[in-house]
């Protein structure tokens, strides 16, 4: 008789929607489940891994948290994801539940498809795809075309391709979901949250659960145990890329800026805000050193919203050099962004 399959929850959602915040809440409130995490993000700065490891929860020890930084999971399934999953399953004792946090640009469907692979399909099942939605970003129209701009572009050049890459990623993530978490309700009115909920419901062609919350506060009993077996249900999860054998992320780019010690957290935050105002940057995050401070500063920027907080002391063997990941649509002025962040003339 085959052993019970280990359930895997895939947490997806656009850049900065609150995936890591939700996963952290889940491991801190896992009600005794032995968990493992696979965390995928851009660049080897390791922000998400650091936030999750610092939970120090007994049921999710550091060795059960694996970071994959070598590209988007949906493109590196065979090379990185499946071997990592197999390694976690061979732990003694094996995890009771695995959570996979994708990068913000990942398309969930190719990842769910990986669970059809013969090597793993008898041992794991996709318990559910959880899509975290950045409510204020939806409210601000970040994923929708600006009709005036599109009309102007069409008038100037009728052959222009109007596919909106942000909208495509956002929709693909919603169309694959078993549970949608409408996050950041503190930055929306209840009426706005209701309206976005209705829009999401209208855009997804099957019944899914939608919960509105802040800081990813979804009870483990809701998040884990959806029993969706999503890998058997791929046809019900349409994608913009269904007719393409391969997809790429050519519409986006990401790079890392090394930042020398700065004068104050406010100095760094104002540089990051200046970049958000002047460039089409979707996400900036990473660590920085502040003159005379023994602690490492964490910077989180989502659009124009920038937060900083001290995270932990620099280790003795660590160079006190800041590293920030910058992500945006293709065409970023890297030189100008780097100058603003580093303070170089």
Ligand X SMILES: Nc1nc2c(ncn2[C@@H]2O[C@H](COP(=O)(O)OP(=O)(O)OP(=O)(O)O)[C@@H](O)[C@H]2O)c(=O)[nH]1
Which region among 13-21, 89-97, 140-148, 251-259 touches ligand X (by CB under 6 A)? 13-21
Nearer to ligand X among residue 198 and residue 307 (C-beta) = 307
Q: How many CA within 13 A on the CB side of residue 125?
A: 16
Q: What minimum distance in Å lies between the beta carbon of 289 and ligand X?
A: 19
Mapped to the 3 state alphabet, what secondary structure does 186-236 carry? HHCCHHHHHHHHHHHHHHCCCCCEEEECCCCCCCHHHHCCCCCCHHHCHHH
Q: What minimum distance in Å lies between the beta carbon of 287 and ligand X?
A: 13
User: Taking CB under 6 A as the criterion, which residues in 54-113 touch ligand X?
Assistant: 104
Q: What minimum distance in Å lies between the beta carbon of 245 and ligand X?
A: 26
DSSP code per residue over 226-284:
----GGG-GGGS--TTTT-S----TTEEEEEEEE--BS-HHHHHHHHHHHHHHS-EEEE
279 interacts with ligand X by CB under 6 A: no
Near ligand X by CB under 6 A: residue from 186, 242, 291, 304: 186
User: Taking CB under 6 A as the criterion, which residues in 24-53 touch ligand X?
Assistant: 41, 48
Which region among 11-19, 64-72, 201-209, 248-256 touches ligand X (by CB under 6 A)? 11-19
Edge-to-edge strand list for the sheet holding 209-212: 65-68, 35-40, 97-101, 6-13, 124-134, 179-183, 209-212
Nearer to ligand X among residue 6 and residue 200 (C-beta) = 200
Among 109, 98, 86, 114, which Cα is nearest to 37's?
A: 98
How many residues bind to ligand X according to rule CB under 6 A? Answer: 23
Which residues have C-beta within 8 Å of that of residue 2, sequence separation ≥ 6? 122
User: Taking CB under 6 A as the criterion, which residues in 118-177 touch ligand X?
Assistant: none
223 interacts with ligand X by CB under 6 A: no
Near ligand X by CB under 6 A: residue from 86, 198, 307, 318: 307
Which residues have C-beta within 8 Å of that of residue 315, sequence separation ≥ 6? none
15 interacts with ligand X by CB under 6 A: yes
Q: Which residues of the chain form contacts with ligand X (CB under 6 A)?
A: 13, 15-21, 41, 48, 104, 183-184, 186-187, 214-216, 283, 285, 300, 302, 307
């Amino acid at each position: 008789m085959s052993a019970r399959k280990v359930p895997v929850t895939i947490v997806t959602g656009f850049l900065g929607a609150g995936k890591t915040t939700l996963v952290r809440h889940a491991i801190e409130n896992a009600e005794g489940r032995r968990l493992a995490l696979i965390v995928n993000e851009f660049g080897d700065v390791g922000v998400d891994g650091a936030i999750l490891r610092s939970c120090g929860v007994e049921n999710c020890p550091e060795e059960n948290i694996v970071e994959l930084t070598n590209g988007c999971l949906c493109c590196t399934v065979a090379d990185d994801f499946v071997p990592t999953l197999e390694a976690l399953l061979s732990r003694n004792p094996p995890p009771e539940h695995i959570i996979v946090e994708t990068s913000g640009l990942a398309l969930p469907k190719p990842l769910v498809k990986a669970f059809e692979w013969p090597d793993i399909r008898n041992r794991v099942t996709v318990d559910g795809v959880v899509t975290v939605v950045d409510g204020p970003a939806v409210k601000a129209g970040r994923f929708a075309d600006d009709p005036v701009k599109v009309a102007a572009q069409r008038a100037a050049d009728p052959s222009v391709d109007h596919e909106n890459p942000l909208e495509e990623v956002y929709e693909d993530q919603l169309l694959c979901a078993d549970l949608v978490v409408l996050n950041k309700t503190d930055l929306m009115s209840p009426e706005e949250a209701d309206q976005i909920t209705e829009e999401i419901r209208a855009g997804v062609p099957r019944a899914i659960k939608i919960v509105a919350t802040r800081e990813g506060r979804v009870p483990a009993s809701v998040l884990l145990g959806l029993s969706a077996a999503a890998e058997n249900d791929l046809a019900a999860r349409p994608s913009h890329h269904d007719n393409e054998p391969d997809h790429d992320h050519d519409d986006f780019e990401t790079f890392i800026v090394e930042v020398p010690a700065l004068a104050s957290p406010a100095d760094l935050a104002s540089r990051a805000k200046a970049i958000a105002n002047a460039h089409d940057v979707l996400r900036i995050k990473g660590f920085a050193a502040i003159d005379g401070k023994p602690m490492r500063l964490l910077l989180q920027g989502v659009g124009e919203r920038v937060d900083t907080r001290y995270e932990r002391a620099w280790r003795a063997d660590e160079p006190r050099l800041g590293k920030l990941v910058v992500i945006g649509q293709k065409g970023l002025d890297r030189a100008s962004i780097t100058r603003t962040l580093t303070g170089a003339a």
